[in-house]
């Protein structure tokens, strides 16, 4: 059994309030920084997505107005990478898919297929630049590395086998007559 002296020391230790704020700080400090790092990662990912969509819109404007006529896969990828300044390693990780569709028939597209970096960059499927007054769908997929791979959103979002985020943008257009 505990003696009176040992019991009084335990009670005195229990009532002592020195260092209470340090314990709260040690518990909450990692949580606040984890939330901060997740916010930074999400902000960078959203900025990359916005750059991808802006580059796609500007590239499609060139195609629609026949300033790149007829566009090839390499031409479109070069223009997109020149427009998208915030994407890492754009020329090696960007993949395009351009499909012609009839608007009178249902428009369906397959799921976007990005590539992993070890494989070569080739068009995903049919790449048809289309003619005048044809409905075209252009889909872009790019793989981007996470900013903070072990701390940020990487464990909580779907990534590829190489640990990169898949960013996809899609648009449709009709080429103007010359």
Lowest mean pLDDT among 7-16, 122-131, 159-168: 122-131
Residue 53 is predicted with a pLDDT of: 94
> Where along the chain do its domains lie?
23-175
Strand ranges (E), the chain: 94-101, 135-144, 165-174
The pLDDT of residue 137 is above 70? yes
Closest CA to 61 of 112, 94, 53, 92: 53
pLDDT digits (tens, 9 = 90+) for 35-85: 888 888 889 889 999 999 999 999 888 887 777 767 778 888 888 889 888
Question: What is the predicted pLDDT for the residue at 88?
Answer: 85
User: In the prediction, which pLDDT does 117 show?
Assistant: 40
pTM of the prediction? 0.73
Q: Side-chain half-sphere of 12: how many Cα atoms within 13 Å?
A: 6
State pLDDT tens for residues 97-115. Answer: 887 777 777 767 666 666 5
């Amino acid at each position: 059994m505990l003696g009176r002296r040992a019991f009084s020391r335990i009670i005195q230790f229990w009532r002592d309030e020195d260092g209470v704020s340090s314990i709260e700080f040690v518990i909450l400090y990692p949580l606040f920084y984890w939330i901060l790092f997740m916010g930074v990662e999400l902000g960078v990912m959203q900025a990359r997505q916005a750059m991808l969509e802006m580059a796609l819109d500007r590239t499609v404007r060139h195609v629609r107005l026949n300033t790149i006529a007829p566009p090839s896969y390499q031409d479109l990828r070069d223009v997109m990478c020149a427009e998208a300044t915030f994407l890492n390693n754009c020329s090696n990780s960007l993949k395009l898919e351009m499909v012609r569709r009839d608007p009178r028939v249902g428009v369906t597209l397959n799921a976007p297929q990005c590539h992993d970096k070890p494989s070569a960059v080739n068009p995903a499927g049919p790449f048809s630049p289309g003619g005048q007054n044809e409905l075209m769908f252009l889909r872009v997929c790019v793989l981007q590395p996470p900013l903070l791979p072990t701390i940020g959103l990487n464990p909580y979002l779907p990534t590829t086998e190489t640990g990169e985020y898949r960013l996809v943008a899609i648009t449709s257009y009709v080429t103007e007559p010359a």
